[in-house]
Structure 1
Amino acid sequence: MDLKIFERLESEVRGYIRSFPVVFRRATGSLLFDEEGRRYIDLFSGAGTLNYGHNNPVLKQRVMDYLQSDGVIHGLDMATSAKKEFMEAFEAVILKPRGMKYVLQFTGPTGTNAVEAALKLARKVKGRPNVVSFTHGFHGVSAGSLSATANRKFRDAAGVSLGNTTFIPYDGYFGPDVDTMAYFERMLEDPSSGLDRPAAVIVETVQGEGGVNVATLRWLQELQRLCRRFDMLMIVDDIQVGCGRTGTFFSFEAAGIQPDIVTLSKSLSGFGLPMAMVLIRPDIDAWKPGEHSGTFRGNNLAFVTAAQALRSYWSDDSFTRSIQDKETLVRDWLENMVQNHPEAELSVRGRGLIQGLVSARQGLSNRIAAHAFANGVVIETSGAHDEVLKLLPALTIEEDVLREALDILDRSVAQAVADEPADRQQAGARVIKFGGKNR
Structure 2
Amino acid sequence: MLLLGALVGCSERDEAATTAMPRHVPLTVGIVAMAEGDLIAARDAMIGATARPYHGAVRLLTLTASERGSSLTEVSEDGSRRPITSFEGRELRAEATLAAFGRALAERPADRTAVIFWGHGRGWRGFGGRKEGYRLIDGSFEQALRALQRGLGRKIDMLGFDACLMGSWEVAEIAAPYASVLVASPELVPERGWPIDRALESLARAPAKSAADLAERFVTPFADAGRRYVSLSAIDLEAVPEVERAASELARAAVAQDLPLDPAWLEGVLRYRDQGAVDLGELSAAIARSAPSPSLRERASALGDAARRARVARSCRGRHCDALGLSIHGVHALGDGGYADPRARWNRDPAWAGWVAQTRRSVSSLPQTSRSTPPYALVSPQPKDPRSHP
Q: What TM-score do the two structures reach when normalised by structure 2?
A: 0.31
Q: Which has the higher contact order (CA 8 A, sep 6+)?
A: 1
- TM-score scaled to structure 1, two decimals? 0.29
The structure richer in strand per residue is 2
